[in-house]
Amino acid sequence: MKRIDFHAHVLPGADHGSKDLQVSLKQLQGAKNVGVDTIVATPHYYGWKQDLSEFRKSRKETWELLQPEAEALGIQVIPAAEVTLYQELPELPSLTELTIPNTSYLLLEMPMESWGNWVYTAIEKIISVHKILPIIVHVDRYPEKEVEKLLDWNLVYQINVEAFQSIWKRRKFVQWVQQERVQLIGSDVHGDDGKDYVAFDKALKLIGKSEDLLMRNARRIIEGKEI
């Protein structure tokens, strides 16, 4: 089964992940080297300081720049977004424009500081008002006490490959995958040093047979299906 990277900053100049096309090409080659044939591109969207129409314009232009190169390598790049949650985000009328194309799924980044009740209220509004299905990105990076509460919400959760690099914590994260507490994996690639996709490969080898489940989940979501 081909591999899907569900969180990557590969669009050239779209955010701080890849500064130009040459960096993006190195990222794509690194992905190809470890068997990735689909990448969900997730440029950051900070709604409190970015205009949505300008963001979408930039995303489209950078995706179109990368697309011919990706096709030549046999890689599908899907233009999505990593949307950081803030208190007023549910009030954005065109929030659905940030979902993965032709789906109701939105990659949602939680705040890094301690959370108030507003976080859960905002998630609830995103689901009930906009009919959006949040995917909580890099769930391994948030405060532990908040993560345990968040996992109880039975949403879709994405884990970063860096979570499996710590010898002290990797067992817990492997168990999360095996127990289906997390459903997706991403490189969260930034820059072009090649380490992110080496780590991607190593993480999936640690996960073992559960890799197939992660990839099936990823494919179903891209197709707009529930998992």
The reply to whether 190 falls in a domain is yes
> Which range (67-81, 112-126, 175-189) has the least confidence?
112-126
Residue 143's pLDDT is 86
Strands (E) located in the chain? 3-8, 36-41, 44-45, 76-79, 82-84, 105-109, 133-136, 156-160, 184-186
Assign 140 a pLDDT band (cuts: 50, 70, 90): very high
Whether the predicted pLDDT of 104 surpasses 80: yes
The reply to whether 109 falls in a domain is yes
The reply to whether 182 falls in a domain is yes
Q: Are 156 and 182 in contact (CB under 8 A)?
A: no
Residue 113's CB is within 10 A of a number of other CB atoms, namely 9
Mean pLDDT, residues 86-90: 95
The reply to whether 169 falls in a domain is yes
Kindly report the CATH number assigned to the domain that includes residue 143: 3.20.20.140
Assign 112 a pLDDT band (cuts: 50, 70, 90): confident
The reply to whether 227 falls in a domain is no
Q: Write the pLDDT tens digit of every residue in 165-206.
A: 988 899 999 999 999 999 999 999 998 777 899 999 999 999
Whether the predicted pLDDT of 98 surpasses 90: yes
State the alpha helices, DSSP H only, in 34-137.
52-73, 118-130
Query: Cα–Cα distance between 217 and 227 in angstroms, integer?
Result: 6
Residue 120's pLDDT is 94
The reply to whether 164 falls in a domain is yes
- Domain count for the chain: 1
**pTM metric for this prediction:** 0.96
Cα angle vertex 192, ends 164, 177, to 5°?
20
Domain that includes residue 59, residue range: 3-222
